[in-house]
Chain A
Amino acid sequence: MSTTISDILGRKRETIDKAVIRFCGDSGDGMQITGSQFTNTVALYGNDLATFPDYPAEIRAPAGTLPGVSGFQVHFSSSNVYTPGDSVDVLIAMNPAALKMNLPDLKTNGILIVNSDDFKETDLRKAQITVSPLEDHSLDGYRLFAVELTKLTRAALKEVGLDAKSMDRCKNFFALGMCYWLYNRSMEPTLRWLDEKFKNKPQLVSANKLAMQAGYSFCEATEAFQISYEIPPAKLSPGTYRNISGNAALALGFVAASQQAGIPLFLGSYPITPASDILHELSMYKDFGVTTFQAEDEIAAVSSAIGASYTGALAITTTSGPGMALKTEAIGLAVAVELPLVVCDIQRGGPSTGLPTKTEQADLLQALYGRNSEAPAPVLAPSSPGDCFWIALEASRIAIKYMVPVIILSDGYLANGAEPWKIPAVSELAQIPVHFETNPEGFLPYKRNPSTLARPWAIPGTPGLEHRVGGIEKQDVTGNINYEPLNHEHMVRTRAEKVEGIAQDIPEIVPEGDPSGDLLIVAWGSTAGPITAAMKPMREKGHRIGHVHLRYLNPLPRNLGDILKRYKKILVPEMNMGQLVMLLRAKFLVDAESYGKIQGKPFKQSEIEAKIEELLD
């Protein structure tokens, strides 16, 4: 649907359903801030959206080079948005390197805004380009706007009194102003943000404001753009919304869990991309009594959390794959001493250091089996940035109720990607019951609750409950050191049974789409968006497709085996070599097919659609 009106200059304003914009430039060009500001503004306007920040691991690769390119993509719409978009409608490229890296994703006839001031011979050389693309007609298939961003920004800021370098750092806001004009958006939210962000640096407030307003006016006054766009608000379910990233949602979820449980929150963490933002976020919430401990290493991070849990806190640790590997032994200890703990693994590309800033889902088997011996732990996975909040609450509930370490598998895409999130009322949040043992009468450290098999949580400082626990095998009930063969088998089986029993305490899964038919897509984590987006057109073509998205990976929903039997084929898209599919094949003896993508990038909707077509034709 699109309607068009004209303004007094005869320029058109077209109402459209959705758009995908990507800002790209050098790591030092402020593309992440520019993208976040645009996102915030369209969110406040009421569009549904999804974002994809994509930046290099290096803080500042040499300026203007290909490895230094940073990008931020936002897809916003008047309808539901499930992915950041396969290709882009508008590309803002601040230099030749950014143009070269991102042009392949721009749609034919898409809008291309480049900073023509940065296409000198030296700039081209840094991007390994010989002939300027602005002159060789290679951009003829796009609507090219070569704008002297540097020169125009400097002209706008000449009264502010900044040096040339500082003025040039405002040119991203010139570009942002242009985009606000192009999509007919108010600059108000960003003006407010600037006041707050630089409240002690008034010069920077006015410089960035002037640059943004100049960009807006440039479009208004010149006849550069013959068209602008209007994307009406989306029809989201009623409520109060905010924009939220996965990492922020996890942090809020844990604060909420601590409040609902009535016990203090403790985070032991060591900085690692892309998990560090959770540490940053939680370190601000001292007013909620949150203790954050930046440990000397990953092992101390999880160990301190185990100490805090032993002492009665809701204890968590946050990391990514390499840190997860280091925490392995300590997680095994938490399994053995049966203490509550939540471990967040924000997955990234591997092995080893791998792709620190890029996404992957290849730690599933590590989370499930990456410990010595039989060390079962529940594993949960959020399916969207907002879902991270709910997963944090659920993981905390399970950890406390069953006295067990719980692993959350998020990933770089969920962690940094953002979406509008309907804010829950606190009254909607379930209480998390906590029982600290206080009665010395008949107290034994491994006397289990018969229904959950959880042992009592008996914290230091409680008179009469002095007792010893440890990683060494112990006798059930008494907790005394015990190496007897049958006791060991009993303990191994009991720990497994306790985790399996959680299946009775989690919801059955209901497929999206068709309840039976040609194809079932089984997936987990951040692939939810592109799969959900692909389902609609494929089902409209007459295919009978269902989709189950597993938030619980251990234990699996108790009815999953039945669901798998209702479809002729099973497809398992994952950003790995086929880890979930291996589990499904092993556990349910089904001929599930793997679709793996291991490029550090999320699936595109079109890729899922093509795979579905391939399987069903």
Chain B
Amino acid sequence: MTTATLPVYTKKDFQTDQEIRWCPGCGDYAILAAVQAVFAELGVPREKFVFISGIGCSSRFPYYMNTFGFHTIHGRAPAIATGVKLIRPDLDVWVATGDGDSLSIGGNHTIHMLRRNVGLKVLMFNNKIYGLTKGQYSPTSEVGKKAKSTPFGSVDRPFSPLSLALGSEATFIARSVDVFQQHLKETLRKAAAHQGSAYIEILQNCNIFNDGAWETITEKEARSEQVVQLEHGKPLIFGKNRDKGIRLVGLDLEVVALGSGTGEKDLLVHDEHNPNPVYAFALSRMDSMPGFPTPIGVLRALQGVPRYEDLIQQQIREVQARKGKGDLAKLLRAGDTWEVKA
């Protein structure tokens, strides 16, 4: 047996010489830094990483990653990445996308990629705005959003991206925040380890067109009151003094104060492997419920669902094992033939 030795990478090995063209102060810088740092640790040869993107600010990402990179067309990254995976399941393929690219123009590809469980890691930068086209509302913008194309406020109801992903049979959904570096890195590591589609909503600040969209979560003082960190096997507790928890009453979630008769044993215990999607669905939209914190971390990680590309390859191998490798001369002569003599 030979042991291939992997080069030891540092974050620097994943940086390119390209001039980064995001606005100063953009949340994308923090995401880039986290991804470069995590890639260095994953133990994957650099040439096996492929970063594929669509269109939008987030989709410039591949140019700044020293891996194979393909900046494609608006919304189509999951479809192009599916083609890559079907030919080379061994490649580690990541998709950089945004709320417009993934949920609006590319919505169809997003849901079908998730349904098939193609082994792609999708980083969906959600800034609730169209940045590159200079400030129109997006499918995640809140009702009433005043933007370039909605001077009197948007009347569109927004998506909950993770509810949509779950409804598309996603096997891995997670949420993190651009400025929560350690949490973001940990979430990326878990996504990298997942077999199948991993859909990560990264709450990202567009400081030019939608500054402060996530302020209630990221603001230092408010942070611990507004965010609940999900940890597998641990109860759902939050608050500066870890004095609040979430419990289930019937089919409804409820925020309860801990103490005076209510303890950890009464709370929901996070189970990311729960095959019943009802729990993860409740978590996926908890952030939009008044008085509830925003859950971050892995909401769901189903194990043991085969990857699409493996099933496709397996079928090819099975047919080849049964019929032998195709013989072109035989194929051309298949069916009824006849001879014309000279």
Our verdict on whether A and B bind, yes or no, reads yes
Interface residues of A, Cβ cutoff 8 Å to B: 40, 43-46, 189, 233, 235-243, 252, 255-256, 259, 264, 266, 268, 285-291, 293, 295-297, 299-300, 303-313, 315, 329-330, 332-333, 337, 423-426, 460-472, 480-481
Contacts of A313 in B (CB 8 A): 87
Other than the given A252-B332, A425-B329, 17 more pairs (CB < 8 A) read A45-B338, A189-B336, A241-B339, A242-B338, A266-B87, A268-B83, A291-B312, A295-B112, A299-B76, A299-B109, A303-B73, A308-B84, A333-B73, A462-B47, A466-B69, A467-B69, A470-B62
* CB <8 Å contact, A461 and B316: no
With A and B bound together, what is the CA distance between A190 and B204 in angstroms? 67
Whether A291 lies near B76 (C-beta < 8 A) is no
Whether the pair B79, A295 counts as a contact (CB closer than 8 A) is yes
Q: Is B331 an interface residue (CB 8 A)?
A: yes
- Which chain A positions have C-beta within 8 A of B112? 295-296, 300
The answer to whether B48 has its CB under 8 Å from any CB of chain A is yes
Query: Complex formed: what's the CA distance from A264 to B334 in Å?
Result: 21
Nearest CB in chain A: distance from B40 CB, A? 14
Contact with A along B285-298 (1 / 0, CB 8 A): 00000000000000
Contact B320 A289 (CB under 8 A): yes
Q: List residues of chain B with CB within 8 A of the CB of A426.
A: 328-329, 332
Give A442 Cβ to nearest chain B Cβ, in Å: 16
B82 at the interface (CB under 8 A from A): yes
- Is B341 a contact partner of A238 (Cβ separation < 8 A)? yes
Q: How far is the CA of A254 from the CA of B22 in the complex (A)?
A: 43
**Cβ-closest chain A residue relative to B77:** A303
In the complex where A285-B326, A460-B84 touch, is A471 in contact with B340 (Cβ < 8 A)? no
The B107-132 residues at the A interface (CB cut-off 8 A) are 108-109, 112
- Among B16, B49, B84, point to the contact of A307 (Cβ < 8 A): B84
- Closest A-chain residue to B332, C-beta based? A423
A460 touches B50 (CB 8 A): yes
- Among A240, A255, A337, A464, contact of B326 (Cβ-Cβ < 8 Å): A255
For the complex, what is the distance from the CA of A236 to the CA of B339, rounded to whole Å? 10
What residues of chain A lie closer than 8 Å to B81, measured between beta carbons? 307
Min CB gap B183→A, angstroms? 28
What is the bound-complex CA distance between A463 and B324, given in angstroms? 32
Specify which chain B residues have a CB less than 8 angstroms from the CB of A295 in the assembled complex.
79, 112
B residues contacting A by CB (< 8 A) are 16, 18, 45-50, 52, 62-63, 66-73, 76, 79-88, 90-91, 108-109, 112, 312, 315-316, 319-320, 323-326, 328-329, 331-342
Contact of B333 with A242 in the complex, beta carbons under 8 Å: yes
Once bound together, how far apart are the Cα atoms of A241 and B337, in whole Å? 5
Contacts of A467 in B (CB 8 A): 68-69
**Cα distance, A235 to B341, chains bound together (Å):** 9
Among B83, B90, B319, the one with the most A-chain Cβ atoms within 10 Å of its Cβ is: B83
Assembly CA distance A463 to B329 (angstroms): 36
Contact B47 A46 (CB under 8 A): no
Interchain Cβ contacts within 8 Å, total number: 208
Check if A308 sits within 8 Å of B87, measured CB to CB. Answer: yes
**B68 and chain A: residue at smallest CB distance:** A460
Closest to A332 in B: B73
* Min CB–CB distance A166 → chain B (angstroms): 27
Evaluate whether A465 and B320 lie within 8 angstroms (CB atoms) in the complex, with A300-B112, A471-B73 already known: no
Nearest first, the 4 A-B pairs at minimum CB distance are A307-B83, A470-B71, A288-B326, A304-B83
Measured between beta carbons, the chain A residues less than 8 angstroms from B88 are 311-312, 460-461
Are B316 and A300 in touch, CB under 8 angstroms? no
CA separation between A472 and B16, bound complex, in Å? 18
Structural contact, B319 and A286, CB atoms closer than 8 A: yes
Cβ of A473 to closest chain B Cβ, rounded Å: 11
CB-CB under 8 A from A235, the residues of chain B are 340
Report chain B residues within 8 Å CB of A239.
339-340
Q: B47 touches which one: A238, A252, A466 (CB < 8 A)?
A: A466
Distance between Cα atoms of A435 and B49 in the complex (Å): 22
Judge whether B71 and A240 touch: CB under 8 Å: no
Partner of B339, one of A240, A289, A332: A240
- Do B62 and A468 touch (CB < 8 A)? yes
Q: Is the CB of B108 within 8 A of A40?
A: no
B108 and A289 form a contact (CB under 8 A)? no
Cα–Cα distance between A291 and B88 once the two chains are bound (Å): 12
B contact residues around A303 at 8 Å (CB): 72-73, 76, 79-80, 83, 109
